[in-house]
């Protein structure tokens, strides 16, 4: 999951915020089937390198008692923008966990980009990119004229997508930002795997197999798409059902054409936040805590108990699972 960049979810559907909490220990080991609980309530960011068996609080070095700003996880680890600083923790970092650098404060949101980091301003639509190993932020996509930017996504082949809120549309560029074309509306954020583009939208989950030129709806339940993530052989998704008013978890193994429910073992909830895969396990951020499945969602085990009105957003970088408690969940 792409953390905190989905401002559209916060702006358009605040009624879907999560209402319970999760908790992870500073460093603890699971015993039997008992979930971890009631430890280290002050943690902001946690990680596990052993499939969720133990979790390490890596919050030391961050500035505040809460995260304010934007962050994302990619194959370089986790990045956090707060205040005028950019913090980075690599997958194998040990204390001190975070490296810090000055951040261009006009650009409030960060996201992953090909070979680097992209920063953009929600209101003005200005963009800058910094390549890995560089200290320079350079202007990009200067021809883009829309406002209200909520997400930017670059495919491995170089196609760029910019998502605008309040129905302003999804814009595509195949020439590195020189020209832009609106290709859809109501999109919240995107992901890709094996040549298939998937996106959360205000109407569910949509899919493209022609590099974003055209899109089709593949899950529609009268509510928004909450989260979508690549898994081995396909995708996993969370959607909001407008009739039952709960969030459903599904998986697809045919390039997003058809979807099967994988939430029979999860307590029904309107606040499930994220679904990821690491190794042989699926992990789900739920108001009751963090659930893990060893059989692709047929059964689930609660491994981290929830407390304090927060729901964990989960993401994966290599063999590392990151868990970040949030007042609103996703």
Asked whether the predicted pLDDT for residue 10 surpasses 60, the reply is no
Listed in sequence order, the residues at least 6 apart from 213 whose beta carbon sits closer than 8 Å to its beta carbon are 172, 183
- Of the two residues 42 and 160, the one the predictor is more confident about is 160
Total domains, the chain: 1
Q: Give the CATH number of the domain where residue 25 resides.
A: 2.130.10.10
pTM of the model: 0.86
Confidence at residue 42, expressed as pLDDT on a 0 to 100 scale? 59
Domain membership flag for residue 1: no
What is the domain range of residue 46? 7-326
CA angle 281, 227, 130 (to 5 degrees): 95
Pick left, alpha or beta for residue 167 (phi over 0 → left; psi -120 to 50 → alpha; otherwise beta).
left
Whether residue 9 has pLDDT greater than 90: no
Instruction: Decide if pLDDT at 170 tops 50.
Output: yes
pLDDT score of 307: 64
pLDDT per residue as tens digits for the range 115-155: 899 999 998 888 999 998 888 999 999 999 999 999 999 99
> pLDDT tens digit string along 45-80?
899 999 999 998 898 888 876 677 788 999 999 999
Q: What does the alpha-carbon distance between residue 16 and residue 127 come to, in Å, rounded to a whole number? A: 29
Establish if 119 belongs to a structural domain.
yes
Which of 153, 155, 246, 186 has the alpha carbon at shortest distance from 9? 186
d(CA 211, CA 306): 40
Q: Mean pLDDT highest for which of 29-38, 41-50, 288-297?
A: 288-297
Is residue 140, in this structure, part of any structural domain at all? yes
Domain assignment present for residue 2? The answer is: no
Strand partners of residue 292: 283, 301
Per-residue model confidence (pLDDT) at position 65? 63
């Amino acid at each position: 999951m792409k953390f905190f960049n989905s401002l559209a979810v916060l702006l358009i559907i605040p009624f879907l915020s999560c209402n319970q909490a999760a908790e992870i220990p500073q460093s603890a080991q699971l015993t039997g089937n008992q979930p971890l609980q009631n430890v280290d309530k002050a943690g902001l960011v946690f990680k596990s390198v052993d499939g969720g068996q133990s979790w390490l609080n890596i919050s030391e070095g961050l500035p505040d008692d809460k995260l304010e700003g934007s962050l994302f996880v990619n194959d370089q680890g986790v990045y956090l923008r707060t205040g005028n600083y950019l913090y980075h923790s690599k997958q194998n970092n040990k204390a001190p966990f975070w490296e810090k650098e000055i951040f261009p404060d006009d650009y409030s949101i960060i996201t992953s980009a090909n070979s680097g980091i992209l920063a953009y301003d929600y209101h003005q639509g200005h963009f800058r990119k910094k390549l890995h190993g560089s200290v320079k932020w350079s202007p990009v996509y200067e021809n883009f004229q829309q406002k209200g930017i909520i997400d930017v996504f670059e495919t491995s082949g170089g196609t760029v997508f910019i998502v605008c809120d309040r129905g302003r549309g999804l814009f595509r560029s195949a020439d590195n930002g020189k020209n832009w074309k609106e290709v859809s509306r109501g999109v919240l954020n995107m992901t890709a795997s094996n040549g298939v583009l998937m996106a959360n939208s205000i109407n569910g989950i949509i899919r493209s197999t022609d590099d974003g030129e055209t899109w089709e709806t593949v899950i529609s339940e009268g509510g928004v798409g909450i989260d979508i993530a690549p898994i081995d052989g396909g995708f996993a998704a969370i959607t909001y059902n407008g009739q039952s008013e709960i969030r459903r978890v599904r998986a697809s193994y045919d390039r997003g054409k058809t979807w099967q429910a994988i939430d029979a073992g999860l307590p029904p909830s309107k606040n499930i936040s994220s679904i990821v895969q690491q190794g042989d396990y699926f992990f789900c951020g739920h108001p009751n805590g963090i659930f893990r499945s060893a059989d692709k969602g047929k059964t689930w085990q609660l491994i981290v108990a929830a407390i304090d009105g927060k729901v964990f957003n989960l993401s994966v970088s290599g063999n590392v699972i990151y868990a970040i408690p949030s007042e609103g969940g996703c």
